[in-house]
Chains A and B, each alone.
Chain A
Amino acid sequence: MASSSSSGLTFKLHPLVIVNISDHYTRVKSQMNSHPLTSTSTTVNGVEHQQQAPRVYGCVIGIQSGRTVEIFNSFELLYDPSTNSLDRTFLEKKQELYKKVFPHFYILGCPLYVLLNPTINPAQKDLPVTIYESELHIIDGIPQLIFVRSSYTIETVEAERISVDHVAHLKPSDGGSAATQLAAHLTSIHSAIKMLNSRIRVLHHYLVGMQKGDIPCENSLLRQVSSLLRRLPAIESEKFQDDFLMEYNDTLLISYLAMFTNCSSTMNELVDKFNTAYDRHSRRGGRTAFI
C-alpha cells in the first residue's frame, strides 16, 4: 500500500464508528472465548484485525459532499467462513433499514476502507484507526486499484460526545469504582498526597534518627533537605493569604451546603416514614416515593 494519499479527499470520522467496531470485536472475541473456535480471518469492506484474532466485518455509511467524506455510522455484517463470503441478504436488509432512518447516508463503499487495530499499544498516542482509500495507480505498468492511506479528522456531535464519554468511563478500574470524573480526579489527588505524606514521614524519621545519633550524619543529604525546605513556602504575601483563605472558605461552604442537603433529604424521608407508620391520621392518597 502506498504511503500517502494524493487524491485530495478529506475524511471526517465520527467516534461512533470506532465505538461500534470495537464493540463488535469485543463481543465476538468474548463469545469466542466461551466457545473455542478456530479464529477466522478474511478481508472485507470494513474492519480488519491481526492474525490469530477474530476478524470482524462491517459497512461504513456516511455522506460524500464534494471532496469531503463524512463517515457517520457503521453496522456489522454477517460473515460466513465456509463460503468465504458475506451474507448478502443481511447486508441488503440492514441497508434498507438504515436508509429509512438516515435517508441521506449511503454506503461508502469502494473508495474507502477503515482499519482498527485492537491491540492496545500504550506508547502510541493516536487512535489505532486508519483509513485507506482506493486509488488507481500504475504499478509495474499495470493500472491497479490499491489502497492508499489517508489522513482524517475526528468530528463529533454533542450527543455523540456524551455517549462516548460515558462508554469510556464504564470500564471497571482496579481500585474502587470511580464512575465520575470528579471522583477519579479527587482519588488521584488523594493518592498523590498520601504518597507525599509517607515520603515526608520517612525523611522526618531519618532526620530524627540522625539527631538522636542512631544513624551517622550525612552532610550531603542534610544539605538537600535544607534546600528543599528553603523552597517553601512558595508564595508569601498578604494578598495570596487573603485569596487563598477566601477560596478555602468557599469550598468549605459548598461542602457544608452539600452535606446539609444530604442530611435534609434523609431527614425528610425519615419523617415521611415516621408519619406513615405512627401518625394515626396522616393524609392518605398521596403517592409518596419510597423505596
Chain B
Amino acid sequence: MRSLNEFNCNNWKSKFYFIFLLRSLSRYDQKTQLRGVNSMEGLVTQIQGLSGTDSDVLSLQNLLKQADDSLHAESTRLLPFLDQLDPAKHSLGYLYFLEAFTAGPVTNEHASSSVLMIARFISSCVAEQIRLAPDKFISVCKRFKDQVLLLEEPLRGVAPMLTAIRKLQSSSEHLTALHPEFLLLCLLSKCYKTGLSILEEDIFEVDQPRDLFLFCYYGGMISIGHKRFRKALELLHNVVTAPMPTINAIAVEAFKKYILVSLIHNGQFPTNLPKYASSVAQRNLKNLCQPYIELANSYSNGKIADLETYVEANKDKFESDNNLGLVKQAVSSMYKRNIQRLTQTYLTLSLQDIANRVQLNSPKEAEMHVLQMIKDGEIYATINQKDGMVRFLEDPEQYKTCEMIERIDSSIQRLMTVSKKLNVMDELMSCDPLYLAKAGRERQRFDFDDFDNVPQRYNI
C-alpha cells in the first residue's frame, strides 16, 4: 500500500521508468527475434552434425531440450528449416521441430499438407532416435489423428498410426498411448481387420491406465463389429475388472456392452463381478447400468415375448447409448439359447416341435436357425430332411489326433510363460512396501498362538 502511495506521489518518475522499461523490452524483443532465427539455423546445423552416432544423438537431445522453448516461440516459421532436415537421418531433431511446428492451431488447408508431412515422417523416422523423446512423438501423432479427423478421412491415418505404434513400442507386449488412437481410427474408418491384428497380441506393460481402458473398450467394439464375441468379452472384461481407484465413464460404458455381449455369447450374465475387480467397480457399476441388468434378468427367464416388450419399452435408453444394435442381437440370440437347452433334454426332435418350443414361426425358420448353429459349431446335430427330424449328437472330438496334441502342447507352452511372469509379479508384490505395511498390520491382530515377536510396522 505504501509503495502505491509512493507511486502516485512520484508519478512522473514512475512514468519515465515505465517508458524506459517498454523501450528496452521492445529492443529486447527485436534482439530475440533476430537471435531466434539465428539460433534456429545454428540448431539445424547442430542437428545435421550430431545425428551420426548414439553418443552424439544423446548430446543433441540435451541441446534440443534446452532449445525447446525457443522452438515453440518460433513455431510459425519453422517450415523452411524442416525442409533442410532429413527425417530418416535426423529423426530426433526433425521430431522436435515438427512438434513445435504442429503445436499451433491448424486450419483446414494446412491440415492436408501437415498430415502428409507427418505421415512421411512416421514412415521414414528411425525408431531408436524417436524413442529418446516418446512424449513428443506421442503428441505429434495425436495431433496427426486430430487433423485426419478434421479432414474426415480417418482411413488416411490408419496405416501411418500402425507404423508409429511399431516404432514406439519397446516390445510387442508394450501398450503405448498410440494404441487407442489407432483403434479409434480403425473404428471410425470401419477398417476392422487391421485393428484385429493388433488385438491378438498379449499385453504385459502399460504406460498409462487410461490407455488400457480405452484400448480394451475400442478393441471390444471392433471385435463386436467383426462378430468375434469371445474376444470382445475378454477385452470388455479387462476394462470392467481393471484396478480403478474411482469409477470412470469408460468402465461404465464398457460394462453395458459387457452385459450384452455376455448374453449373446454365453447366454447368461454373471451377477457378481469376480473378486479381482476393484471394490469400487463391484459396488457402483450395477447401479449405473440398471436397464441393462434388468434386460439380463428378463433374458434369463427364457421368454422371448417378455424380452421383446422390455426392449420396446426402454428403446430410447438403449438408443442413446448406441447399443440398440447389440440389444437386438441379444434378443435374437435367445432363440439359440433355447435350442441349445433342447439338446440337453432330447436326442431327436422334429423341426415343428423345435419351432413350437422355441416360439419360432415356422419349421423352416427353425431349420435355418439349426443350420446356422451347426455351421458356427455351437451344436452338433444332423437334420434329416425327409421327415424333418433333427438328431442331436455328442461332441465328436475324440482327442486322439496329432493336431490336438499340437494344440494342447502350444497351450501348455503359453501357460508356462504366463506362469513364469506371474511368479515374477508375485515376488515383486510380496516386496511392495504398501503391501507389507498392510499385511503386517493384519497379521499382528490374528496371531494369538504365535508367540514370537511379530513386528508392528515394517519401517522401510
Could you list which residues of chain A lie within 8 angstroms of chain B, going by C-beta atoms? 242, 245-246, 248-250, 252-253, 255-256, 259-260, 262-263, 266-267, 269-271, 273-282, 284, 287-288, 290
Across the interface, which residues of A come within 8 angstroms of B291, CB to CB? none
Using a CB-CB cutoff of 8 Å, which residues 404-429 of chain B contact chain A?
404-405, 408-409, 411-412, 415-416, 418-419, 422-423, 425-426, 429
Across the interface, which residues of A come within 8 angstroms of B438, CB to CB? 276-277
* A256-B411, A256-B415 known; A267-B422 Cβ under 8 A: yes
Across the interface, which residues of B come within 8 angstroms of A245, CB to CB? 400-402, 405
The verdict on B38 contacting chain A, using a C-beta distance below 8 Å, is no
Across the interface, which residues of B come within 8 angstroms of A267, CB to CB? 422
Q: Which label, helix, strand, loop or mixed, suits the secondary structure of the B interface?
A: helix
The verdict on B278 contacting chain A, using a C-beta distance below 8 Å, is yes
Would A246 and B400 count as touching, CB distance under 8 A?
A: yes
The verdict on B446 contacting chain A, using a C-beta distance below 8 Å, is yes
Closest to B436 in A: A277
Cα A287 to Cα B432 with chains together (Å): 20
Cα A262 to Cα B422 with chains together (Å): 11
Would B399 and A249 count as touching, CB distance under 8 A?
A: yes
B377-420 vs A: 1/0 string, CB under 8 Å? 00000000000000000000011111011001101100110110
Contact of A270 among B243, B409, B416, B429 (CB under 8 A): B429
Least CB distance from A258 to B in Å reads 10
Across the interface, which residues of A come within 8 angstroms of B408, CB to CB? 249, 252-253, 256
Across the interface, which residues of A come within 8 angstroms of B276, CB to CB? 271, 274-275
A-B pairs with lowest CB-CB distance, top 7: A277-B435, A246-B400, A271-B276, A245-B400, A277-B434, A252-B408, A249-B399
Across the interface, which residues of A come within 8 angstroms of B415, CB to CB? 256, 259-260, 263
Would B422 and A263 count as touching, CB distance under 8 A?
A: yes
Across the interface, which residues of A come within 8 angstroms of B422, CB to CB? 263, 266-267, 270
Cα A33 to Cα B45 with chains together (Å): 83
Closest to A250 in B: B399
The verdict on B245 contacting chain A, using a C-beta distance below 8 Å, is yes
Closest to A248 in B: B405
* A245-B401, A274-B243 known; A259-B419 Cβ under 8 A: yes
Query: Given A263-B418, A280-B279, 18 more contacts at CB 8 Å?
Result: A246-B400, A248-B405, A249-B400, A249-B405, A250-B399, A252-B412, A255-B412, A259-B419, A263-B422, A266-B423, A270-B422, A273-B429, A273-B432, A274-B243, A276-B442, A278-B243, A281-B280, A287-B442
Closest to B432 in A: A277
Least CB distance from A172 to B in Å reads 27
For B243, B408, B446, the residue with the greatest tally of chain A CB atoms inside 10 Å of its CB is B408
